[in-house]
Amino acid sequence: MNVSLSKFRLHACFLGALFWPLGASAYLGGFEEQDGYRVPLNGQIISNYLAGDAQFYLNNSASNGYTGVVPLGAYPNTLGDNTNGPDVTRYNAGQYGTNNSGPGGSAADITDNSGLWQVLSGGRLYEDASAPYYYGNQYYRDQIVAYRNTMPHGGSQTLNLMAADQTLSYRYSMDSRDLGGIAPASTLGMALQMSFWVKPSDWDDPDTGNIFGLSLLDAANQPVFEVGYTGDNLLQYRLTGGAWQTTSYVLGTLGWSEITVVVDTVGNTASLDINAYNDGTSHLNGSSIVLASQGLGVVSGALSALQWDLRGGTLDNGAISYINSFDDFSFTATPVPEPAGMFLLLLVAAFRWAPRRRA
């Protein structure tokens, strides 16, 4: 009987491997030039000079159709901060480069918000309208940019979020390049795993409320699952329509922590794993399961976008909103059999390996 049960389990695993297609691994990117993110520095830039919008950065000309003075982080500019690229909504960010079967090409000026990145509120919109004073030692910015980081998780660039003056909200629309050739519209009926590395700011530590949230959105722009952290860097998560749930896991600020989210669009569940950097020991603590197949409380559509929300402006207890950095996104999309189909496979395996009566 034990032999037959072992054969059943083995055959069930074989059937699962046979009928369950392998997932395709990809990444949003490490925000390098070949991922499609532009940071000019010391002649190392691969893409061409940006005309049009970039000219606005240089001479602040109203003839370019924009108002206000772009902050230090918008390069090129007369203030000479060449460690940051332009705001990601102003050029074809993530749409050029050769990494992950990219199309090649180079950075190009586009009509604002016409690419994969869109600013919904705050951020660059606030800078354009209300940021005329960037002189001397002023460093406050409201934007999302690629940044030439001295301590990246990998490569040389990271994605930097800053909402010094006002809360920002941006949306990134995933494409098939992110998902290894799988169209986002095809993720219905799949489990989507998203992993990324993050290094929060210490400046906002006195504020113990939610500071950052990253939402997985479906095709109807419905938040399916959200992960984030507090000002004092405690990992949080939120289900659709619910309140932020604060965990005891602390994200270090001296090194990079890895967050992994899995959303199953068949079972409508989410799982969350954290590998937090420990500032005290200067090492990663090791992976810990925060959630395992938690019911979403909502029926998910195909997963198609990410929404980035960073709280800025006046924070609690005198805290200041400053740079929050992200690096090395990766995605794996794996088809998930419907429960009825899996039951049928197991039933077939059970009959195939059931003990037979001898004549």
Which residue segments constitute the domains of the chain, with CATH numbers given?
Answer: 1-20+344-359 (no CATH), 21-336 (2.60.120.200)
What backbone torsions phi and psi does residue 4 show, to the nearest 5 degrees?
-65, -40
Q: What is the mean pLDDT of residues 89-103?
A: 90
**3-state SS class at 12:** helix
Nearby residues of 303 by Cβ (< 8 Å), 6 or more positions away: 174, 184, 187, 192, 216, 217, 218, 224, 263, 265
Q: Give pLDDT, residue 64.
A: 41
Q: Say how many Å lie between the first and final Cα of the chain, rounded.
A: 19
Beta bridge mates, 262: 193, 271
pLDDT of residue 334 exceeding 60: yes
> In angstroms, rounded to a whole number, what is the distance separating the alpha carbons of residues 101 and 114?
22
Beta bridge mates, 197: 258, 327
> In angstroms, rounded to a whole number, what is the distance separating the alpha carbons of residues 12 and 9?
5
Grade residue 29 by pLDDT with cuts at 50, 70 and 90: confident
* 184 contacts 176 by C-beta, under 8 angstroms: yes
Q: Give pLDDT, residue 83.
A: 66
User: 106-141: b or e for each residue (b if 16 or more CB lie within 10 Å)?
Assistant: bbbbbebeebbbbbeebbbbbbbeebeebeeeeebb
> In angstroms, rounded to a whole number, what is the distance separating the alpha carbons of residues 260 and 258?
7
**The pair of three-digit structure tokens given for residue 138, joined into one six-digit string:** 């002023």
pLDDT digits (tens, 9 = 90+) for 245-266: 999 999 999 999 999 999 999 9
Nearby residues of 84 by Cβ (< 8 Å), 6 or more positions away: 39, 72, 73, 74, 75, 145, 146, 147, 148, 160
Q: Give pLDDT, residue 131.
A: 52
Q: Give pLDDT, residue 87.
A: 85
Please name the helix (run of DSSP H) or strand (run of DSSP E) that holds residue 124, with its range, or none: helix 124-130
**The pair of three-digit structure tokens given for residue 178, joined into one six-digit string:** 């992110």
Rounded (5°) CA angle 277-278-279:
110
Q: Give pLDDT, residue 76.
A: 39
* 124 contacts 115 by C-beta, under 8 angstroms: no
Percent of the chain with pLDDT over 70: 70
Spatial CA neighbour of 162 closest among 270, 220, 96, 81: 81
pLDDT of residue 60 exceeding 60: no
Beta bridge mates, 74: none
pLDDT of residue 108 exceeding 70: yes
Grade residue 86 by pLDDT with cuts at 50, 70 and 90: confident
> In angstroms, rounded to a whole number, what is the distance separating the alpha carbons of residues 71 and 134?
6
Grade residue 355 by pLDDT with cuts at 50, 70 and 90: low
More confident residue, 11 or 326: 326
Q: Give pLDDT, residue 302.
A: 94
Grade residue 81 by pLDDT with cuts at 50, 70 and 90: low
pLDDT of residue 55 exceeding 80: no
> CA 222: distance to chain centroid?
16
Q: Give pLDDT, residue 5.
A: 34
